[in-house]
Chains A and B, each alone.
Chain A
């Protein structure tokens, strides 16, 4: 790794464009505005402090998300989710939804339902879906942001989607005023 160091001006230039997305991500993780702000604040403070050790050529966005996520995991509300993440190998047995594409033709009008379902997902499913779908990160980037191997990214994504589909099916089955 080259011992190149970026100036702090560059940090601002790199980090501020990520601000909206990082906040959105933090808000989804914490499910609370004040906690999300604290988390983003902490992320920027830590990142600025650690920026001199940030290596050029490393994915800056993934690095920022990793800081945010590690900060979240060590926070009060984050600690509650740790169990779920450690429990990954003993995934809850999902109801196999089967290929029912018709039921999944989710319209824009169902946005609130999807948001509700996302909020109900375990944090480690929610975050990987957000990174993949909202941030449009590659598997490689997600692996860096979550500090997990690419293989785990794929399997966790697959499980996250299955869980989400199950949740959505339950909601749609329950009608517009569903569960």
Chain B
């Protein structure tokens, strides 16, 4: 190929855009043609000079910071978005816990009130000149006595073989609801057993399990739509023993 034909390709050669086959042919040509070789070298040198001269201006640090800030603004907004993703549930949890705490505190207060009321009923019975409306050690006498006086019925345990004795019973009221108040005896200690309907709103608020306060022990549970409370100044073990007998009665 004549030099003239190559001249048009020298720029492509210098720019690295010449097809590999053409480039190797041109290389071979330049080994024998000093004019073309010198021309190619000049073009490469011009490229280098322009590259060196063209890399001239540097942005200021302040301008760089401004652009970086404006470009990073979007990710920051995204970070805000993530913050919301975390914060909204966190706030929700906080709100729920505040409400729950309020509810628990209210419940606790109500439970405390119920416990106090039951303790009062127990103490009132102990202090009363006529503690029983029905005096009998026989559960088959006491249970029927309540018929018509309270809106429910219940079973009482067989006490034979135990240390507990049934003394009698009376009608009582807790939060305007009638219930049965039974009095048992253990080694001179009197123990009150309260039975109410389980409305889920009244005395039912008292937590199941045993409570110890004001030197009284108490145990409460739910059973067959009824709410049972055992209150007395005997030890927790004795309260539990009587509770167990009552549970087994139904």
Q: How far is the CB of B72 from chain A (nearest CB, A)?
A: 6
Chain A residues with CB under 8 Å of B17's CB are 138-139
Q: How far is the CB of B16 from chain A (nearest CB, A)?
A: 8
Chain A residues with CB under 8 Å of B47's CB are 132-133
Pairwise interchain contact A27-B56, C-beta atoms closer than 8 A: yes
List B residues 33-58 near A (Cβ within 8 Å): 35, 38-39, 41-43, 45-58
Chain B residues with CB under 8 Å of A36's CB are 57
Q: How far is the CB of A170 from chain B (nearest CB, A)?
A: 15
Pairwise interchain contact B53-A111, C-beta atoms closer than 8 A: yes
Name which of B62-70, B88-96, B215-223, B231-239 contacts chain A.
B62-70
**Interface 0/1 of A127-144, CB less than 8 Å to B:** 001101110101100000
Pairwise interchain contact B50-A133, C-beta atoms closer than 8 A: yes
A65 within 8 A of B: no
User: Whole-angstrom distance between the alpha carbons of A157 and B38 in the complex?
Assistant: 20
Q: Pick the contact of A106 from B35, B38, B45, B57 — CB < 8 Å?
A: B45
**Interface 0/1 of A153-179, CB less than 8 Å to B:** 010011001001100000000000000
Closest 10 pairs between A and B when the two form their complex, measured CB to CB? A101-B42, A114-B53, A134-B54, A27-B57, A8-B74, A23-B59, A133-B50, A106-B49, A101-B38, A133-B51
Q: Pick the contact of B11 from A45, A99, A157 — CB < 8 Å?
A: A157
User: Whole-angstrom distance between the alpha carbons of A101 and B75 in the complex?
Assistant: 53
Chain A residues with CB under 8 Å of B54's CB are 24, 28, 115, 118, 129-130, 133-134
**CB-based nearest B residue for A110:** B49
Chain B residues with CB under 8 Å of A48's CB are 70-71, 74
B15 within 8 A of A: yes
List A residues 1-31 near B (Cβ within 8 Å): 7-9, 11-12, 15-16, 19-20, 23-24, 27-28
User: Whole-angstrom distance between the alpha carbons of A174 and B64 in the complex?
Assistant: 40
A-B contact pairs, 21 of them (CB 8 A): A7-B78, A9-B75, A12-B72, A15-B71, A19-B67, A23-B57, A23-B58, A23-B59, A27-B57, A28-B56, A48-B74, A99-B39, A104-B46, A111-B49, A111-B53, A112-B53, A115-B53, A118-B54, A133-B50, A136-B51, A161-B46
Chain B residues with CB under 8 Å of A20's CB are 58-59
Query: Beyond A9-B75, A101-B41: 9 further Cβ-contacts under 8 Å?
Result: A9-B78, A15-B71, A28-B54, A36-B57, A41-B66, A48-B74, A114-B49, A114-B53, A115-B54
Q: How far is the CB of B245 from chain A (nearest CB, A)?
A: 70
Pairwise interchain contact B57-A8, C-beta atoms closer than 8 A: no
User: Whole-angstrom distance between the alpha carbons of A61 and B92 in the complex?
Assistant: 45
Number of A-B contacts (CB under 8 A): 115
Pairwise interchain contact A8-B38, C-beta atoms closer than 8 A: no
B104 within 8 A of A: no
Chain B residues with CB under 8 Å of A9's CB are 75, 78
Chain A residues with CB under 8 Å of B75's CB are 8-9, 12
A40 within 8 A of B: yes
Pairwise interchain contact A8-B52, C-beta atoms closer than 8 A: no
Q: How far is the CB of B14 from chain A (nearest CB, A)?
A: 10
Chain B residues with CB under 8 Å of A105's CB are 42, 45
**CB-based nearest A residue for B63:** A37
Pairwise interchain contact B35-A8, C-beta atoms closer than 8 A: no
Q: How far is the CB of A24 from chain B (nearest CB, A)?
A: 5
A58 within 8 A of B: no
**Interface 0/1 of A53-83, CB less than 8 Å to B:** 0000000000000000000000000000000
Pairwise interchain contact A154-B67, C-beta atoms closer than 8 A: no
Q: How far is the CB of B173 from chain A (nearest CB, A)?
A: 69
Q: How far is the CB of A135 from chain B (nearest CB, A)?
A: 9
User: Whole-angstrom distance between the alpha carbons of A101 and B59 in the complex?
Assistant: 35
Pairwise interchain contact A44-B70, C-beta atoms closer than 8 A: yes
List B residues 56-115 near A (Cβ within 8 Å): 56-59, 63-64, 66-68, 70-72, 74-75, 78
